[in-house]
Amino acid sequence: MFTKRMLILALVFAYTGIEQAFWTGIYPTCISFTQKLGTNTNALLALNSVAAGLGQVAAGLTFGILGTRTRRIGRDAIVFMGAVLHLLTFAMIYMNIPDNAPLQKTTDCGGILSPSVAIALVCGGLLGFGDACWNTQIYSFLCDRYSDRSSEAFAIFKFYQSLLSCAVFFYSSLLKLSWHLLILLVTSLTAAVCFFLIERFASPVRVEETPDAEAPLNLKRIDYRPKISSSVPDVTVTTDEARKHKDSK
């Protein structure tokens, strides 16, 4: 399973871990520490979780209603849509949330705008929607291309995703928001390109079946008895000829 293709997919898996850690941990912290969003910013955390959940539900319903049409659209197109939504969301977060919000409570303004509750919640919903775009298509890809080794493929996927999520939480208290967004920007573009290449040019992986030593042998019975040739002429004797032969004796 540790092939060149899987190493390319590892970049895709890694991005899902990074963005998952961001929208589940770092972004809620930014909302909580941004004092200009209101006097009780902790109450906004629940609303942000609801918005992110609604975004994922909306994505699930969209792909569920489309059904087989998603195959016609293409997994790479849906992943591209998720990447574009995430990039737009990162830009909105940069404009709306102060740069030092991941580290401490702040009364500063965002990169361009004054912090807005509405924009913050919309960003939470878009993060959830984009996350669903990525994950649903990765699940579909692994089930399709690794149908004979799906358990191993999903294990590697969760390994890279969890590893990068853990790494993000380790350095999250050291970096400002702009650095987090820059990492997300680079990894999102890289993951989108890698997924496009794998989806377009990779062929399905199939397990080569080897004969089982314990399987019973399929023996064919061979009949060695001699067969009578059908070329022997059929001799028929009439009644008159039999009488003449008897009288001659």
DSSP states of 97-131: S-TTTTTS-B----SSSPP-HHHHHHHHHHHHHHH
Helix (H, G, I), strand (E, B) or coil at 34: strand
Which residue did the predictor score with more confidence, 3 or 179?
179
Whether 227 is covered by a domain: the verdict is: no
Give dist(CA 38, CA 117) in Å, integer: 8
Task: Report the predicted TM-score, pTM, of the whole model to 2 decimal places.
Answer: 0.77
Phi-psi region of 97 (alpha: psi -120 to 50; beta: other; left: phi over 0): beta
Class of residue 108 by CB neighbours under 10 A (exposed 0-12, middle 13-18, buried 19+) = middle
Whether 54 is covered by a domain: the verdict is: yes
Whether 242 is covered by a domain: the verdict is: no
Q: Which of 46-55, 57-66, 110-119 has the highest mean pLDDT?
A: 46-55
Whether 237 is covered by a domain: the verdict is: no
pLDDT at 43: 84
Encoded tokens for 172: 């999250």
Q: Token pair 């807005």 is at which residue?
A: 116
Whether 173 is covered by a domain: the verdict is: yes
Over residues 130-156, the pLDDT tens digits come to 999 999 999 989 988 888 888 888 999
- Cβ neighbours for 192, distance < 8 A, ≥ 6 positions apart: 79, 80, 83
Q: In the predicted model, is pLDDT for residue 226 greater than 70?
A: no
Which residue did the predictor score with more confidence, 225 or 190?
190
Structurally, how many domains does the chain consist of?
Answer: 1
Whether 239 is covered by a domain: the verdict is: no
Give the domain extent around 173: 4-201
Encoded tokens for 98: 């102060």
Query: Domain containing 134 — which CATH number?
Result: 1.20.1250.20
Over residues 84-120, the pLDDT tens digits come to 999 999 999 999 999 999 999 988 888 888 899 999 9
Whether 197 is covered by a domain: the verdict is: yes
pLDDT at 213: 44
| pLDDT above 90 coverage of the chain, percent | 53
